[in-house]
Structure 1
């Protein structure tokens, strides 16, 4: 975790096993699920 998009909220980076694609899950500093859309940021190959 870290603030990858520099908006002041903690974010999460994940990788899809089947494709190797990397995704940014933008945080919203909420105690509930984030409604922000996933952002494909590259691949893990």
Structure 2
């Protein structure tokens, strides 16, 4: 029982980290594109 709870908690933690990483990476990528556009104009 405890092991199942621990596994579930670990899965949730991994999912949260992946979501955070994806959001952060996408924002970083968008900021780079915006900076490129500002430089060109």
* TM superposition score normalised by structure 1: 0.19
The structure where helix makes up a greater share of residues is 2
The structure where strand makes up a greater share of residues is 1
Task: Name the structure, 1 or 2, with higher relative contact order (CA <8 Å, separation 6+).
Answer: 1
* TM superposition score normalised by structure 2: 0.20
